[in-house]
Structure 1
Amino acid sequence: MTEFALTIEWKGFEKDKYVHTVLEDNILPPYIRQCRWFAGKARKIKQLKVRHVVHFEEFIFMMFEARYEENDAELYLLPLSFIEDNTQDIPAKGILSKAAMDDKTGHLVDAIYDVNFRSAIYRSIFNQSQIRQYNQDLLTFTKGKAFEEESAEIDSYLPDIDSSNSAMIFGGKYFLKLYRKLFSETNPEVEMVEFITQYSEFRNIPLFAGSITWNRKDEAATTFGVMVQVVENIKDDWSMTGDYLNDFLEAFVEGNFQIKESVFDKVTQLAHRTAQMHLALFALRGADNFNAEPFDRQYRRYLHEKFENLLERRYTLLTDNYLKLDEQAQNLAWTFMEAKDLILDFIDQILTRPLSSFRTRIHGDYHLGQILATNDDLVIIDFEGEPESSITERKIKHSPLKDVAGMIRSYHYAVSAKLFNSAETSTRETIVLQRAADRWYKLIKDTYLEEYLSMFGSPHPLFKDPNEVNYLLLFHLLEKAIYELGYEVNYRPTWVKIPLKGIVEVINEIEKLRR
């Protein structure tokens, strides 16, 4: 908390240039540096600017822009509340500064820590309130199909979740995600969970209970938050897969290759739930942003250009860091770089290859960490899409095999991380570990893929024939592994061999197809 004392008044806050300047120059810089949701902590900030103010009862939804030295900018949401001294116990991480309002002294705080703000949010969703602003904008609260309460009063608390957004729990039944980094479009997560909840029978997602939207005149709506039903879960599927791999590792150290039948049962269950999600998204009708579409020329060009640009960036990155890699990673990297012409030819086929399959909205960031395990089932969460993509890109329709490829790569990461980074295997030869990892991965991958495709029947509009399935799956597996390479080179160089191994496996499959 800064020691700067600020005199504030909500009425006219949007025009109070003095208060804005104090916030921008003195209060926000140190405050946001300690906020988990602020993604620019490692970057040099050129300017902070209060851009928009939305009034909400006795609170403010303030939006500020962070502009960086590279001259790009991000917009963040920071709800504000004034807490009078000795009225609430606010944690230090929620206090921006000392403040005064209406001759009362207290603190300016991030409003999520104010129980009255949380109550007002819930009450507004219950009443489906619309609050007109000074400039005729509307702050709109929507109630969803899964909202079942008959009273506008409920208890609330902030769960201990380390996230890039902020979470609130109401009555132990509803989970509200308040988005911090904003985009000038409806967040895809709101669209996805609302449509699936409202218009399909698929229930293995957190069901839509409400949303908060800032509707601006002549501009796209901006999503402030989404509310869903709480999912009572044991752990996420990444952790559960880690448990399975612990059993596998224990047997491996003792000289046995052993996978319990219960592991295949869970993989089968995940494959079925994935297929049911995709079938639900395919069946949704009545809105352009959900209707299935063909692989038209414009989409093919988009895929091709995006993949080629990604490939070029990764080749440059790998070349610049080649000498920093260990011997195994260097060998894999060399195979990847030598296959450049082969890969480019494979990518080019997306422009001309006959493709009769359809594409739909998909999850977009699908991996084991996005699956919650309940007592006897699995629930798919977090429909925001790929974090590094724009909102427009996240809403582009793709083959559902893009999600499938993401999950398959996640399984590859799980087994590779376990075998190559465990103390129990630190003395084992790399080739022995790789052989065990490859065998585990192949068994799990084949089970997942076979069970997934079995849910559709053949032919199906999404998957016209095995040749198309094979090509599109390899395309997205290669795209995903090359994408992963960037993070590992920059942040975990000892893990670079994991995506590189995935890339080389696809290269081998492409060579088989050519032969």
Structure 2
Amino acid sequence: MTQLEELLADWIPRQRWFAGKGAPIDTLRVEGDHPLLGGEPGLRVLVVAIGQRGTVSRYQVLLGLRPAGTLPEELAHAAIGVCDLGFGEPRAVYDAAHDPELTELLLERLAEGPGTPPAAGGGEPVRFRRLPGATVRTGLRSLVLKGEQSNTSLVYGEDYVLKAFRRLWPGVNPDLALTAALAGSPYVARPYAWIETDISTGTRADADGTAGAGGTGGRPPTTSTTLAMLQEYMRSATDGWVLAATSVRDLYATPELPPGEAGGDFAGEAERLGAATAAVHRALARELPTDVLTPAALRELAGAMMDRLHLATSEVPELHPYVGVLRTAYEAFARVDEPLPIQRVHGDYHLGQVVRTDSGWVLLDFEGEPATPVADRQRPSSPLRDVAGMLRSFDYAARYQLVGSSRAPELAPAARAWAQRNREAFSAGYAFGGGVDPEKHQTVLRAFEYDKAVYEVLYEAHHRPSWLRIPLDSIAALAA
């Protein structure tokens, strides 16, 4: 490894957005090094290929460079280290996403970029592009949003948010593809521009540390990937999870009252959110290809759900009492004998992916699950998958505040009543807004809900064991 790669091998595993935690790094190589700004300070875009357990994952690092000993105090938290980069004297290298002096350049280049559709590769190593007709205002100072885990978002003034995708996959990121398809919709934040480059499509880590192409000889092929996208910043918006959690807290203050009579009832908002979700699904079906899942393909999907159940039960013994109920639901899903319409959907839909503005609900983050390859996230699915994700989110919002609470037995009935009321309101709003009526497709919806809950069981067992009862109790409630 070079000095820089040694520093990155120590720094990257400590970042929240690194997806390979828990496994040792076998190889690390700077696969792409693209200078954007020379001089002092300097700016480079790095594509870092990391080999773990025989496979390669790629990450984006915005690398800032300054002479050693000159890193400002306000950037100390972003330091990666000091190394020799061939300038004749050591350079301090750091995460440039936190340096407004450098990130201003990204906004300027996006403002200058051509208004063209996503490229298929080639041309400049790093390409700045705008959506046709979009204009970008420059001269705005950036600030990194806190709390994100998978990516890094920079807010420019009160106008824009630039989401830098940390883990890179071959292909156009679904967040860009779907948001661009929905441009002009009142239910999404307006997209303006994006940054792209080319990366290797290899996924195998060879013994010498190079990224292999799965057995093909020579240099692996490359394809375009999305580095970042610029959208409207919803400055007056409130996170849907925050609104729901506030409603639940209000209910817990008067648990003797039904949710509809307690202060801060959320059902009206849940119904409006359902209608907004249906409107987005209708728009995606108009703008992007649709298909129909045949009974044979549906049985294959049910088999994949069963496989996930077997994996989860082998790792989480607490799931065993519910295996019979889950298997029965998946078997019923496999027997559905009518074609199931499929289309592009959000893919990772929950209350944390929506915000309430002065004019209504707005859906965000159409990226899907960042740990899943883009090719898989681009596949169409049933809109009921998104519906199931939001219904699961209502259960979480109702139950998570009871974790570790001495009042949990007392408040559990209120939690169940709140979740049920808002599940029904969302489903009614979704049907009223032109979506598939969830009440008329319970077999399909329940299979998607169970599948999501099984995923949650695995996640909580690995990351938040104290929350494991949330999906387990939800499975029990669905089975009742």
How does the TM-score come out when normalised to structure 2? 0.84
Matched AA of 2:429: E
Contact persistence 2:170–2:199 (CA under 8 A): no
Whether the 8 Å CA contact 1:343–1:507 is kept in 2: the answer is no
The one-letter amino acid of 1:274's match is T
For residue 420 of structure 1, report the CA deviation from its aligned partner.
4.9
Provide the rounded CA distance (Å) in 2 between the counterparts of 1:293 and 1:75.
32
Establish whether residue 154 from structure 1 lines up as the match of residue 132 from structure 2.
no
**Corresponding residue for residue 428 of structure 2:** 450
Alignment of 1:110-129 (within 5 A): 110-128=95-113
The answer as to whether partners of 1:65 and 1:74 remain within 8 angstroms in 2 is: yes
* CA deviation after TM superposition for structure 1 residue 376, in Å: 4.7
The reply to whether residue 31 of structure 1 matches residue 34 of structure 2 is no
Taking the aligned partners of 1:111 and 1:419, their CA distance within structure 2 comes to 40
SS in 2 for 1:30: helix
The answer to whether the aligner puts 1:244 opposite 2:227 as a matched pair is no
Quick one: structure 1 residues 464 and 370, their matched pair in 2 at CA, closer, same or farther if it must change by over 3 Å?
closer
Indicate if the aligned counterparts of 1:63 and 1:75 stay in contact, CA closer than 8 A: yes
Superposition pairs for residues 292-441 of structure 1, below 5 Å?
A: 292-296=290-294, 299-319=297-317, 322=318, 333=319, 335-339=321-325, 341-350=327-336, 353-355=337-339, 357-423=340-406, 425-426=407-408, 430=409, 433-441=411-419
Partner of 1:78: 61
Counterpart in 1 of 2:215? none
Counterpart Cα distance in 2 of 1:114 and 1:83? 11
Tell me, in whole angstroms, the C-alpha distance in 2 between the residues paired with 1:402 and 1:349: 18
CA distance in 1, matches of 2:274, 2:159: 28
Q: Give 1:370 deviation, angstroms.
A: 0.9
8 Å Cα contact 2:171-2:223 kept in structure 1? yes
> 1:335, 1:504 within 8 Å by CA — same for their partners in 2?
no
Q: Is the 8 A contact 1:364 1:394 kept in 2?
A: yes
Tell whether 2:444 aligns with 1:472: yes
Which letter maps to 2:139? Answer: I
3-state SS of 1:265 partner: helix
Residues 358, 463 of structure 1: 8 Å contact kept:
no
Checking the alignment, whether the CA contact within 8 Å between 1:94 and 1:113 is kept in structure 2 is yes
Does residue 259 in structure 1 map to residue 259 in structure 2?
A: no
**Whole-Å Cα distance in 2 between the matches of residues 266 and 189 of structure 1?**
25
The whole-number CA distance in structure 2 between the counterparts of 1:96 and 1:492 is: 29
Counterpart check, 1:170 vs 2:156 = yes
Residue in 2 that maps onto 1:67:
51
Q: State the 1:102 CA deviation.
A: 4.8
Aligned to 1:16: none
Q: Find the residue that maps to 2:457 and give its secondary structure.
A: helix
Aligned to 2:233, which of 227, 230, 233? Answer: 230
Greater Cα shift, 42-51 or 98-107? 98-107
Q: Is the 8 A contact 1:202 1:276 kept in 2?
A: no
**Structure 1 residue identity aligned to 2:467:** W
* Number of residue pairs aligned between Structure 1 and Structure 2: 446
Structure 2 residue 466 is the aligned partner of structure 1 residue 494: yes
State how 1:254-293 maps to structure 2 within 5 Å. Answer: 255-257=256-258, 258-260=261-263, 262-284=265-287, 290-293=288-291
Larger Rg computed on CA atoms: 1
Q: Give the C-alpha shift of residue 374 in structure 1.
A: 2.4
Partner of 1:185: 171
Change (3 A) 1:103 1:367: same
The answer on 1:212 being equivalent to 2:195 is: yes
TM-score, normalised to structure 1's length?
0.79
The structural deviation recorded for 1:336 is: 0.8
Contact 1:138 1:216 in 2 (8 A): no
Structure 1: gaps (5+ residues):
1-19, 285-289, 323-332, 457-461, 509-515
Equivalent residue of 2:338, what SS? Answer: coil
The match for 1:98 is 82
What's the secondary structure of 2:247's corresponding residue?
helix
2:425 is aligned with what amino acid? T
Mark the CA change 1:62 to 1:167 in structure 2 (over 3 Å): closer, same or farther.
same
Letter in structure 2 aligned against 1:158: L
Distance in structure 2 (CA, Å) of the matches to 1:447 and 1:116:
47
Q: Which runs of 5+ in 2 are unaligned?
A: 201-220
In structure 2, what is the equivalent of residue 513 of structure 1?
A: none
Q: Structure 2 vs 1, CA of residues 397 and 455 (structure 1 numbering), >3 Å: closer, same or farther?
A: same
Residue 113 to residue 489, structure 1, CA distance change in 2 (3 Å):
closer
- The answer to which of 432-441 and 45-54 deviates more is 432-441
- The CA deviation string for residues 448-472 of structure 1, in whole angstroms up to 9 with x for no partner, is 111210111xxxxx749964x2222
The alignment status of 1:21 with 2:2, answered yes or no, reads yes
Q: Report how far residue 112 of structure 1 moved.
A: 2.3
Tell me by how many angstroms 1:238 deviates.
Answer: 0.8
Q: 1:297 to 1:264 in 2, by over 3 A?
A: closer
Note closer, same or farther for the CA distance 1:342–1:37 as it changes in structure 2 (3 Å cut): closer
3-state secondary structure, aligned to 2:9? helix
- What letter corresponds to residue 311 of structure 1 in structure 2? L
Residue 39 of structure 1 aligns with an amino acid whose one-letter code is A
**CA gap 1:417/1:83 in 2 versus in 1, 3 angstroms:** same
Q: Which amino acid aligns with 1:22?
A: Q
Q: Deviations over 1:19-71 (max 9, x none)?
A: x522223x223322433322334332222222222333433211112222x32
**Residues of 2 paired with 1:409 and 1:208: CA distance?**
28
Deviation for aligned residue 1:349 = 1.8
1: distance between equivalents of 2:357 and 2:390? 19
Whole-Å separation in 2 of the counterparts to 1:311 and 1:504: 15
Matches of 2:312 and 2:26 in 1, distance apart?
A: 28
Equivalent-residue separation in structure 1 for 2:108 and 2:327 (angstroms): 60
- Taking only aligned residues, the RMSD between alpha carbons, in angstroms, comes to 2.9
Contact 1:373 1:379 in 2 (8 A): yes
8 A contact 2:98–2:144 mirrored in 1: no
Looking at secondary structure, tell me which structure has more helix per residue. 1
Contact 1:55 1:61 in 2 (8 A): yes
Task: Provide the C-alpha distance between the structure 2 equivalents of 1:375 and 1:464, rounded to a whole number of angstroms.
Answer: 28
Tell me the CA shift for residue 310 of structure 1. Answer: 0.5
**Retained in 2: the 8 A contact 1:215–1:221?**
yes
Deviation at 1:421, TM superposition (A): 4.2
